């Protein structure tokens, strides 16, 4: 660009002797290339993007400094000491170093497996306002898992470079013995690119790596079930999304909070939130919804976080449905959030976005080279030792001659050359021999050295075989991963929701809650009647040949489970049924619930909001299974669950038990034999399809007819029928025990 020429009207600037203005024109492309690009590459390579060991340079410098300070096995020291020592490798200021330490600490809770054992206030990852204490107050040391980060670091497993001022050396990478790059969450923003790596459970990562080492066609979804976050919560399982992440390194997963309802206090407690949000962000958003009138069911919300962990308490107004409210809050607040994955890793100094499969390929190749270098280093050290012992062996063959040579040598400087000449050994061997103490030249010492020589030769041969056969290196890697998994594996923190249908309920007006009476017939007709209508109405009317199966009392918003003869359970809310009169047949459940052809309702129960208690399934073959009601609880609005109970034998009766109820159960066969047993003898199972244990011995032509709680029957002579041990044959029912037995289930159909 041409400069404007001066005119006579342009004021003249005074000239300064010895100084002359220099103006240099430079194209913007050259400026970017010479000035901006070095800065950008420095941020990418030396600051923001993690490498194959799973660490950024700031992490690596801090951990290596602590390792050099002896904090792997020693006592804790003040954080300020570590920060000061780390500045010898990382001259970016004490504040930046301390922030790095905080993120790696157990107290902060940002990692599945923290590397810094902390004492004091380090803040919390789920709080933006909880500040950490100054470094002069807190204390730190390395966690035990760090021994796997520095394993054989002094055995030439990784390269070392000079620090920024050339006064000491630091490792380029840490020789991590497990794929830490997939275990430790990492995020960073560079220039023009970013990295967002989520953590996976150590046990699943080790299992996946071992399986992949054994079989290159291994399906990762079978062993690596999804990300795991330190703050817990629940991940909504999406197989296609996970496949995309594993293949490309990009994608997102949805995580939602965990909560519980305290019925006695009418309070919702949120105790785990997504990794990507904070407690303050949740509180702010809920407050905004309340002020705008979009949420009316909340009377108060507060943060009750204490030393026991996170807890956000929501006080509900009378009549509010906690499940419906939480479904709305999940949609409108950060209680459900997405974690966007961008697995950008530095490989050989170049950033590269990779899927989990490719990351493992790179880690396996890098770890293989580390083991090879370690093996080569160990072999060289053993060869050096063997070389000395072989020289000693030459001397020991004629020790008297060696002593004579040393004794007859006039000058000390001539001892080494004369030994070299007399026994045909090199200078290193001669110096080693010359340093041996006279008292060591005994028979036991000689035998030990000969044994050591033989052992070293075998060890060197074994190490050489490892170098010659890559398959042996693979076996070493597998063995190390299995030991690490066993030593440091912990249960998954983030739960997995495998339901594929809609998991959040739609926003609809809450149904009015009022008491209702429920009636279910043998043919599957269901009636919901209000107390007033029941008092004003006449007797119950049923279809010809039909009769009452069971009756219950509940609230209009209660959930009801209907079990069928196809081992299926249908879940519904009572407000989905219309109020009826006693004079009508009721809703036909097979049509109302969309059952399969020839599917019949066998039993109905009210699980309550907390699904406490259990069900006793009494089968026709005399077996009884006890299944926790919680096995039928789902987060989603699923209408049907399959595999509700075992299909090995027809079910004769189902008895519902409360959470702490220990009832006595009467089991009666078609032979009119009865057994009385304690329900507590039946072990609780968390699997719905359990077959149960044999309670009653049956003759071939008989089967179980019904079962009920003892107080619901006319059985009086309890001692006559009580089983001393299970299984029991039972006793024939006496006439006084054969009354009109009030049971809640029908007889089993004839097979």
Cβ-contact 690, 682 below 8 angstroms? no
Of the listed ranges 230-239, 353-362, 548-557, the least confidently predicted one is 548-557
Angstrom distance (rounded) from CA 298 to CA 557: 18
How far apart (Å, rounded) are the C-alpha atoms in residues 77 and 87? 16
The CA angle 349-354-358, to the nearest 5 degrees, is: 100
Q: Please report, rounded to a whole number, the percentage of residues in the chain having pLDDT higher than 70.
A: 91
Domain ranges of the chain: 55-175, 258-334, 362-488, 515-737
Is 461's pLDDT higher than 80?
Answer: yes
The residues with which 475 forms a beta bridge, in sequence order, are none
pLDDT at 97: 94
Interhelix angle 415-423/399-408, nearest 10 degrees: 150
Which of 126, 174, 118 lies closest to 147 in space, CA to CA? 174
Tell me the C-alpha to C-alpha distance, in Å, between residue 207 and each of 112, 177, 201, 474.
17, 14, 10, 14
Q: Cβ(171)–Cβ(160) under 8 Å? A: yes
Compute the average pLDDT of residues 142-155: 94
| φ, ψ of residue 549 in degrees (nearest 5) | -95, -50
* Residue 53: both structure tokens together: 């060991």
Q: What pLDDT, on the 0 to 100 scale, is given for residue 226?
A: 93
**91, 214, 357, 362 from 471: Cα distances, Å:** 43, 10, 20, 17
pLDDT at residue number 508: 42
Residue 299 CB burial class (10 angstroms; 0-12, 13-18, ≥19): middle
- For residue 395, the SS3 value is helix
Q: Which of 556, 684, 557 is nearest to 629 (CA)?
A: 684
Structure tokens at 177: 């013995």
The whole-number average pLDDT for the span 268-282 is: 94
Vertex 151, ends 146 and 154: CA angle to 5°? 125
Cα angle: 447, vertex 451, 454; to 5 degrees: 145
pLDDT of 2 strictly over 50: no
> Average pLDDT of the chain?
86
d(CA 679, CA 414): 95
User: Is residue 6 very low, low, confident or very high in pLDDT (cuts 50, 70, 90)?
Assistant: very low
Q: Alpha-carbon distance 629 to 622, whole Å?
A: 22
What number is the average pLDDT over the span 632-639? 78
Give pLDDT, residue 562. Answer: 93
Residue 568, pLDDT > 60, answer: yes
Largest CA distance in the chain: 134
Instruction: For residue 713, give both structure tokens.
Output: 């029957």
> Residues 592-625: pLDDT tens digits?
888 888 889 999 999 888 888 899 999 999 999 9
Q: Using the predicted structure, report yes or no on whether residue 664 has a pLDDT greater than 70.
A: yes
Q: What is the pLDDT of residue 585?
A: 87
Lowest-pLDDT choice from 42-51, 228-237, 261-270, 646-655:
42-51
Which range scores top for mean pLDDT: 406-415, 486-495, 662-671, 737-746? 486-495
The CATH number corresponding to 362-488 among 1.25.10.10, 2.40.30.10, 1.10.268.10, 3.30.565.10 equals: 1.10.268.10
Are 76 and 141 within 8 A, CB to CB? yes
DSSP string over 162-216: E-TTSSSEEESS---SS-HHHHS-EEEE-SS-EEEE----HHHHHHHHHHHHH-T
* pLDDT for position 241: 92
**Distance between terminal CA atoms of the chain?**
101
On whether the pTM is more than 0.85, the answer is no
Tell whether the model's pLDDT for residue 649 goes beyond 80. yes
**Does residue 382 surpass a pLDDT of 80?**
yes
HSE-CB at 439 with a 13 A cutoff on CA atoms is 0
- Selecting among 36, 39, 137, 498, the annotated active-site residue is 137
CA distance 464 to 378: 10
Report residue 684: phi and psi, to 5°: -75, 135
Which pair of structure tokens corresponds to residue 319? 């009549």
pLDDT in tens, 168-212: 999 999 999 999 999 999 988 877 788 999 999 999 999 999 999
Which of 275-284, 533-542, 735-744 comes out lowest in average pLDDT?
735-744
Question: What is the token pair recorded at 212?
Answer: 């992949």
pLDDT at position 748 over 50: no
% pLDDT > 90, the chain: 48
Q: What is the pLDDT, as a whole number, of residue 745?
A: 37
Report pLDDT digits (tens) over 383-438.
998 998 888 888 877 788 888 888 888 888 888 888 888 888 888 888 888 888 77
State the pLDDT at residue 20: 56
> If DSSP codes are grouped into helix, strand and coil, which group holds residue 567?
coil
CATH 3.90.199.10 fits 55-175, yes or no: yes
Provide the CATH number for the domain formed by 258-334 in this structure. 3.30.1360.40
Band (pLDDT 50/70/90 cuts) for residue 495 is very high
Active site (annotated) includes residue 137: yes
pLDDT greater than 90 at residue 16 = no
The residue-averaged pLDDT of 291-320 equals 88
Predicted pLDDT at 511: 53
Q: How far, in Å, CA of 208 to CA of 221, rounded?
A: 9
Assign 359 a pLDDT band (cuts: 50, 70, 90): very high
225/246 Cα distance (integer angstroms):
11
Whether residue 101 contacts residue 82, with contact meaning beta carbons closer than 8 Å, is answered with yes
Q: What is the pLDDT of residues 31-81, one digit of tens each?
A: 777 777 776 666 666 678 899 999 999 999 999 999 999 999 989 999 999
CATH H-level, domain 515-737: superfamily: DNA gyrase/topoisomerase IV, subunit A, C-terminal (2.120.10.90)
User: What is d(CA 698, CA 190) in angstroms, rounded to the nearest whole number?
Assistant: 75
Count of beta carbons in the 10 Å neighbourhood of residue 271 = 18
Which residues, at least 6 apart from 727, have a Cβ–Cβ distance to it below 8 Å?
622, 693, 694, 695, 696, 697
pLDDT digits (tens, 9 = 90+) for 80-133: 999 999 999 988 889 999 999 999 999 999 999 999 999 999 999 999 999 999
204 φ/ψ angles, rounded to the nearest 5 degrees = -70, -35
Residue 504 confidence (pLDDT): 43
């Amino acid at each position: 660009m041409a400069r404007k020429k001066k005119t006579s009207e342009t004021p003249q600037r005074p000239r300064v002797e010895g100084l002359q203005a220099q103006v240099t024109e430079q194209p913007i492309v050259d400026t970017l290339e010479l000035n901006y690009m070095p800065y950008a590459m420095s941020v990418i390579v030396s600051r923001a993007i993690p490498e194959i060991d799973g660490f950024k340079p700031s992490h690596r410098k801090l951990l290596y400094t602590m390792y050099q300070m002896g904090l792997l096995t020693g006592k804790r020291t003040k954080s300020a000491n570590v920060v000061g020592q780390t500045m010898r490798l990382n001259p970016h200021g004490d504040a930046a170093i301390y922030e790095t330490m905080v993120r790696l600490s157990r107290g902060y809770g940002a990692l599945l497996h923290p590397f810094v054992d902390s004492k004091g206030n380090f803040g919390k990852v789920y709080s933006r306002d909880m500040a950490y204490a100054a470094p002069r107050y807190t204390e730190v040391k390395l966690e035990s898992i760090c021994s796997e980060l520095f394993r054989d670091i002094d055995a030439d497993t990784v390269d070392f470079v000079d620090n920024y001022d050339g006064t000491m050396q630091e490792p380029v990478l840490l020789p991590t013995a497990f794929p830490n790059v997939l275990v430790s969450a990492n995020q960073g923003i560079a220039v023009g690119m970013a990295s967002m790596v989520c953590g996976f459970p150590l046990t699943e990562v080790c299992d996946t790596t071992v399986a992949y080492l054994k079989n290159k066609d291994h399906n990762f979804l079978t062993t690596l079930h999804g990300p795991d976050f330190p703050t817990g919560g629940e991940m909504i399982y999406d197989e296609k999304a996970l496949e995309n992440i594993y293949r490309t390194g990009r994608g997102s997963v949805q995580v939602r909070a965990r909560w519980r309802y305290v019925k006695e206090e009418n309070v919702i407690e949120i105790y785990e939130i997504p990794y990507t949000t904070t407690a303050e962000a949740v509180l702010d958003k809920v407050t905004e919804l309340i002020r705008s009138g979009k949420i009316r069911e909340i009377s108060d919300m507060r943060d009750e976080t204490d030393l026991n962990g996170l807890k956000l308490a929501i006080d509900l107004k009378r009549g509010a449905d906690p499940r419906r409210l939480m479904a709305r809050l999940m949609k409108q607040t950060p209680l459900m959030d997405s974690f966007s994955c961008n697995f950008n890793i530095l490989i050989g100094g170049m950033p590269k976005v990779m899927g989990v499969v490719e990351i493992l390929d790179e880690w396996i190749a890098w770890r293989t080279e580390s083991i090879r270098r370690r093996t080569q280093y160990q072999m060289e050290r053993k060869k050096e030792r063997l070389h000395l012992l072989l020289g000693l062996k030459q001397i020991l063959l004629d020790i008297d001659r060696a002593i004579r040579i040393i004794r007859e040598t006039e000058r000390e400087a001539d001892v080494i050359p004369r030994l070299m000449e007399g026994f045909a050994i090199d200078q290193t061997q001669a110096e080693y021999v010359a340093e041996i103490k006279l008292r060591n030249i005994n028979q036991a010492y000689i035998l030990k050295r000969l044994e050591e020589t033989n052992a070293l030769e075998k060890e060197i041969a074994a190490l050489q075989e490892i170098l010659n056969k890559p398959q042996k290196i693979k076996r070493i890697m597998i063995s190390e991963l299995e030991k690490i998994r066993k030593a440091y594996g912990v249960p998954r923190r983030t739960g997995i929701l495998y339901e594929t249908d809609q998991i959040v309920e739609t926003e609809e007006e809450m149904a009015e809650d009022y008491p209702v009476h429920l009636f279910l017939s043998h043919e599957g007709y269901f009636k919901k009647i209000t107390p007033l209508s029941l008092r004003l109405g006449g007797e119950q009317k049923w279809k010809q040949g039909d009769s009452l199966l069971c009756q219950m009392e509940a609230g209009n918003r209660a959930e009801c489970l209907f079990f069928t003869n196809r081992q299926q359970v249908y879940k519904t809310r009572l407000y989905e049924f219309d109020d009826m009169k006693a004079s009508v047949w009721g809703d036909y459940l097979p049509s109302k619930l969309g059952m399969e052809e020839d599917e019949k309702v066998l039993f109905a129960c009210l699980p309550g909001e907390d699904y406490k208690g259990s069900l006793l399934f009494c089968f026709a073959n005399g077996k009884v299974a006890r299944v926790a009601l919680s096995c039928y609880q789902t987060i989603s609005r699923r209408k049907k669950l399959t595999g509700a109970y075992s299909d090995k034998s027809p079910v004769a009766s189902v008895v519902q038990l409360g959470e702490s109820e220990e009832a006595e159960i009467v089991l009666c066969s078609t032979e009119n034999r009865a057994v009385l047993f304690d329900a507590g003898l039946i072990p609780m199972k968390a699997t719905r399809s359990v077959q149960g244990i044999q309670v009653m011995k049956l003759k071939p032509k008989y089967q179980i007819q019904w079962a009920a709680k003892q107080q619901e029957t006319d059985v009086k002579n309890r001692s006559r029928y009580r089983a001393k041990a299970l299984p029991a044959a039972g006793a024939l029912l006496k006439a006084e025990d054969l009354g009109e037995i009030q049971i809640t289930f029908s007889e089993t159909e004839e097979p």
